[in-house]
Amino acid sequence: MEDYKPPDLPSPFNNTTPPPTLLTQGAEAHLYKTTSLNPSNPAALKIRPSKPYRHPILDRRLTRQRILQEARCLAKLVREGVSVPALLALDWEGHGGEEGGWGGAWLMMEWIEGDVVRVVLEKWEAWMKNNQASLDESQIEREEAQVRGLLKKMGAAIGALHKAGVVHGDLTTSNLMLRPFAGADGAGAESVSTEGDVVLIDFGLASQSAQDEDRAVDLYVLERAIGSTHPRSEPLFDELLLGYRESYKGAPSALKRLEDVRMRGRKRSMLG
């Protein structure tokens, strides 16, 4: 099987030293690590390449609409003090809008150090599985308290997001990052550190909304994601809802709607 070759990079990223490093690729976008202004400033570059199977006019319109929506959500959240990457630069015209140009769109964001929450929880659950036999009840409680604290911070971050009038649209533990505190050394070999700030990332499906239904769906998607990928953390999900409730005054109505969304989800599961 041939190695995947991503689309050509747009200007000016096709002529930088060192070149951008491809981190992840999705159906709609590619994420690179690059630099901003000088080599000592790391940055995240998200590129939406043009889709050759779409009509060129429709493709340009959809690409522009989606990149602008993501940029507007990020800019609004930064103004509101929500923990998200800062927006550094943007091109929605595709190579400056030149005739016959590159055709895609890109945005550059602040680089966030740390692991995605998915990795943090996976490491913690693996560590607990390997060490549970040697832990007494008080040690298990201390370890679970760490994750309770992390889930509560996740809930607070989502509460701030919804308070700002934005819904994420794809909340999973892969779209939340744990940025270590400055100077933190981590937990070492004895445990897995959950210290740091929770940062929301990847707003490709985000939108501005004041609907409790949309907020409840955000929470439900995350709840299902945790249930399917982090079985040991799933029983602690109420801690996330507590952090959400404490950070967002509109939480009661959103959480009430969450019950309705859960009911619909259970019915769909029963009916296949």
Identify the pLDDT of residue 3.
Answer: 67
Instruction: Give Cβ neighbours of residue 189 (< 8 Å, ≥ 6 apart).
Output: none
Could you tell me if 24 and 35 are in contact, meaning their C-beta atoms sit under 8 angstroms apart? Answer: no
Identify the pLDDT of residue 267.
Answer: 59
Q: What residues are annotated to the active site?
A: 170
Encoded tokens for 132: 């549970």
> Number of C-alpha atoms within 13 angstroms, CB side, residue 252?
1
Instruction: Give Cβ neighbours of residue 41 (< 8 Å, ≥ 6 apart).
Output: 35
The whole model's pTM is what? 0.90
The residues of the chain that CATH labels 1.10.510.10 are: 115-270
Task: Tell me which fold the domain 115-270 belongs to.
Answer: Transferase(Phosphotransferase); domain 1 (1.10.510)
Could you tell me if 170 and 217 are in contact, meaning their C-beta atoms sit under 8 angstroms apart? Answer: no
Identify the pLDDT of residue 181.
Answer: 85
Identify the pLDDT of residue 72.
Answer: 97
The residues of the chain that CATH labels 3.30.200.20 are: 13-110
Could you tell me if 206 and 167 are in contact, meaning their C-beta atoms sit under 8 angstroms apart? Answer: yes
Task: Tell me which fold the domain 13-110 belongs to.
Answer: Phosphorylase Kinase; domain 1 (3.30.200)
State the Cα–Cα distance between residues 219 and 117, nearest whole angstrom. Answer: 16
pLDDT tens-place values along the chain, 272 residues long: 566 677 788 888 888 878 899 999 887 899 999 999 888 899 999 999 888 888 888 888 899 999 999 999 999 999 999 999 999 999 988 754 444 456 789 999 999 999 999 999 999 999 999 998 899 999 999 999 999 999 999 999 999 999 999 999 999 999 999 999 876 665 554 578 999 999 999 999 999 999 999 999 999 999 999 999 999 999 999 999 999 999 999 999 999 999 999 998 775 655 45
Could you tell me if 6 and 25 are in contact, meaning their C-beta atoms sit under 8 angstroms apart? Answer: yes
Q: Answer whether the bond into residue 12 is a cis peptide, omega within 30°.
A: yes
